[in-house]
Amino acid sequence: MSVYWNSRVKNLSPYVPGEQPREKKLIKLNTNENPYPPSPLVIQALKKAADDDLRLYPDPACTELREAIAGRYGVKPEQVFTGNGSDEVLAFAFGAFFESGPDHLPVLFPDISYSFYPVYAGLWGIPYKTIPLADDFSIDTDNYKIISGGVILSNPNAPTGIALSVDRIKQIAGFLKKNKKILIVDEAYIDFACPGEGLSIIPFCNECVNVLAVHTLSKSASLAGLRAGFAIGSAALIEGLCRIRDSFNSYTMDRLALSGAAAAIRDEGYYKTVNKKIIATRLRVSSSLAALGFKVIPSQANFIFASPPPSSGISGQALYAALREKGVLVRHFNKPRITDYLRITIGRDADMDVFLQICGEIIRRR
């Protein structure tokens, strides 16, 4: 605390990201990064972009990247917004579409979801209300069909990994539209849903004009270190996001990020293969944890949310600490309802085998 802080800064409760350890030896399964490298075409594009042109500002409209995204998802470039990671896109979306001030209706999101949502609300002074998940951590979409300031959902939800059907999402959007409110669908993990599930709202963004889908290249495109994210919605919503960005920083994406992200978007084939492997590993590790007696929440993401068997007498916190001591870093949230769960990012098969073996040893030791 400092006397020089204004009241806005004093009242912030900033987000605390997962640990980025300096020890390289740890098996890192704590921040949902992709264990496989980015496409070779991304590295090539980055090398090509690292040239004398770095003295010039990047394209503020991010045209090439937006065109690549539009081509891949079958929308118009004016329906695409890009930014410095989806965290930034989400922060802008809160600022653009939800009302600030205590006189406004609260924005709704689940009590267990991405813990950045209340932080963005706090930053912009947006009132919000959390809606409890059901006991099995599912979302009852009827709870969101109430008069509100708008809704944000993560689909699949984080950290549970449970996904909602497009029909359910469309029902909430339809209700909100009658009240001229927006639904933001954070699809950070959607590329890890079982193929054929068709869970993304993007194909319906022309009919659902009050829906904004937000994606990241950090997870399924193996580019957490590059910082690139995007939103797809109606052209009017995208213009709203641009108005916020251009009142803040016109160049949120640098030349390297623009080139690398565009190359990743164009190499869909490479990432389909990589992410198929992650889905297969997720299914295998989920079964193995269940066989050890863990309660495993059915995940459509690149992580598993699971709690140790009650008979082992080990708490989530204790298991987290025991795993860390053995060199495996997972994520534990010290929060009501989920304190006995761990969120385990899906890594390479060999690393997951080490994780499973250590889990087995810890549980048997008890």
Which residue ranges make up the site for ligand PMP (CB under 6 A)? 85-87, 114, 154, 158, 186, 188, 216, 218, 224, 229
Shortest Å distance, C-beta 101 to ligand PMP: 25
d(CA 306, CA 323) in angstroms, rounded, equals: 14
Q: Which of 114, 105, 124 is nearest to 154 (CA)?
A: 114
Shortest Å distance, C-beta 114 to ligand PMP: 4
d(CA 69, CA 230) in angstroms, rounded, equals: 9
Token pair for 65: 């990247």
186 vs 238, beta carbon nearer ligand PMP: 186
* Residue 14 and residue 120 in contact, taking contact as beta carbons nearer than 8 Å: no
Give me the half-sphere count of Cα atoms (radius 13 Å) on the Cβ side of residue 72: 18
Shortest Å distance, C-beta 215 to ligand PMP: 8
216 vs 307, beta carbon nearer ligand PMP: 216
Shortest Å distance, C-beta 353 to ligand PMP: 25
83 vs 359, beta carbon nearer ligand PMP: 83
107 vs 188, beta carbon nearer ligand PMP: 188
d(CA 192, CA 147) in angstroms, rounded, equals: 32
81 vs 322, beta carbon nearer ligand PMP: 81
Shortest Å distance, C-beta 85 to ligand PMP: 3
86 vs 307, beta carbon nearer ligand PMP: 86
* Residue 309 and residue 292 in contact, taking contact as beta carbons nearer than 8 Å: yes
34 vs 281, beta carbon nearer ligand PMP: 34
User: How many angstroms separate the first and last alpha carbons of the chain?
Assistant: 43
Shortest Å distance, C-beta 89 to ligand PMP: 8
d(CA 308, CA 292) in angstroms, rounded, equals: 8
d(CA 125, CA 112) in angstroms, rounded, equals: 21
Which residue type is seen at 113? Answer: S
Q: E strands within 225-325?
A: 229-232, 295-296, 303-307
Shortest Å distance, C-beta 128 to ligand PMP: 16
